[in-house]
Amino acid sequence: MNQQQLDSRLKELSEKLQRSMNAGDYTAAGQIQNQIKELKASFRIDNSTDLNSEHEAYVKAINEAYADEEKSFNAQWERRLDEFNQNAASKMNELKKDLEDKLKQLDEKFIQRPIRFSSSVLTLRDQEVRLAKNQRFEEAKAVQREADQIEQKEIQEHQQMQQVSKEQQKLELFRFYEKQAKALMTKIEAGRSDILQKWASDMDKLDKHHEAMIKAEDVRFLKARQPREILDMSIKLDSNRLKAIKSPVAQYIQQQGAMVDGSQLGASMGPIVSKVQGLVKLK
């Protein structure tokens, strides 16, 4: 029996009760009065059972819809974080390759840099050649030994200077790229932190929307359980927190037969995509 049928039956019994009272048939009036009480009690029991089942179905529909939304929401944020991490790794690899290229260029530069002997060596070599042409071989040999000694010394000094210069330039390169790497890591950590913070913030919003819908259903359920004569004293929701929307979850619930009042639902529980992404931190 629904509310309309109950009202019709109660009206019928009330009219019979009035007629019995007017006729002075108080025995019949008492019996009719008992029928009215039993009918109301029976309706309350049946209605309470139906309302409880309906409420459980609505809450289940909300929770299932929320679980689906949460799964999709987290999947989107995980993809965003993976994309950021891949981009960050690519930036670090580019920096590493750039350093390797610079070191290779440095090695090639020093390989191609020949020694330039001093004027003393060049003078001795010229003297050695002239002595040999004049067949003054002993003197040429002596000059040759002296030139060889000076030349060998200059070669060693040149190699040492080359090595020192090369190591110094390598050190400068390493320091420069270490600074670049630290700056990039700072950007990466800032970007990753930005994504995680937005993820947590949007997850908190999603949870609050879920709580708002559960609260809305609880209020609807409490209203439905109240006697008709005190329905006007129903609990009021905080209108500042719960705004009228047409969210995917509300549509889902309506499709499931759970007619939750859309004006009592929170903002859309659809996956929340923040406008500012952490990837901009790497630019």
Mean pLDDT of successive 10-residue segments in the chain (283 residues)?
A: 70 80 80 76 61 82 89 91 93 94 88 82 91 90 92 88 88 94 94 92 89 88 63 35 41 42 37 34 41
216: burial class by Cβ within 10 Å (0-12, 13-18, 19+)?
buried
Which positions ≥6 away from 77 have C-beta within 8 Å? Answer: 195, 199, 202
The parent domain of residue 122 ranges over 3-282
Coil/strand/helix, residue 256: coil
What string of DSSP letters covers 204-224? HHHHHHHHHHHHHHHHHHHHH
The model's pTM: 0.53
Residue type, 260: V
pLDDT given for residue 236 in this prediction: 37
pLDDT given for residue 97 in this prediction: 95
Domain count, the chain: 1
pLDDT given for residue 252 in this prediction: 43
Give the CA radius of gyration of the chain.
46
Distance, CA of 98 to CA of 132 (rounded, Å): 54
pLDDT given for residue 1 in this prediction: 54
Neighbours of 69 (CB within 10 A): 22
Please give the distance of CA 184 from its chain centroid, rounded to a whole number.
20
pLDDT given for residue 13 in this prediction: 78
